[in-house]
């Protein structure tokens, strides 16, 4: 997966319900601040933590088209800033902290 993610320009997760969260976070962990975009549906749980992702509604073809276009056309500097923030979120997202949030 690391090799696959490392040569990927855009990660697109068009799931209709929550899922693929680990895959999304693995992509971010591999990319760090390299500048590639990540797009996912607003239904993916990872979208709650990774606010910098390009969000889309999988029930709307226009929304998906716009998200892909935005991901492809976004300036590299903006992509890097977003990915760096998402990487920091993934890096700081440890299971103990997450489980404590569930208990609060």
> pTM here?
0.80
Domain 2-103 carries which CATH code?
3.40.50.2000
DSSP string, 71-90: HHHS-HHHHHHHHHHHHHHH
Q: Give the per-residue pLDDT at 85.
A: 92
Compute the average pLDDT of residues 9-18: 82
pLDDT of 52-92, one tens digit each? 999 999 899 999 999 989 988 999 899 899 999 999 988 88
Q: What percent of the chain has pLDDT over 90?
A: 25
């Amino acid at each position: 997966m690391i090799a696959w993610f490392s040569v990927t320009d855009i990660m697109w997760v068009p799931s209709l319900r929550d899922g693929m969260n680990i895959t999304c976070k693995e992509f971010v962990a591999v990319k760090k601040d390299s500048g590639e975009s990540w797009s996912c549906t607003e239904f993916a749980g990872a979208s709650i933590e990774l606010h910098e992702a390009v969000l889309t509604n999988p029930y709307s073809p226009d929304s998906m088209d716009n998200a892909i276009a935005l991901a492809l056309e976004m300036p590299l500097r903006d992509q890097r800033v977003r990915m760096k923030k998402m990487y920091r979120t993934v890096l700081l997202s440890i299971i103990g902290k997450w489980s404590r949030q569930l208990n609060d």
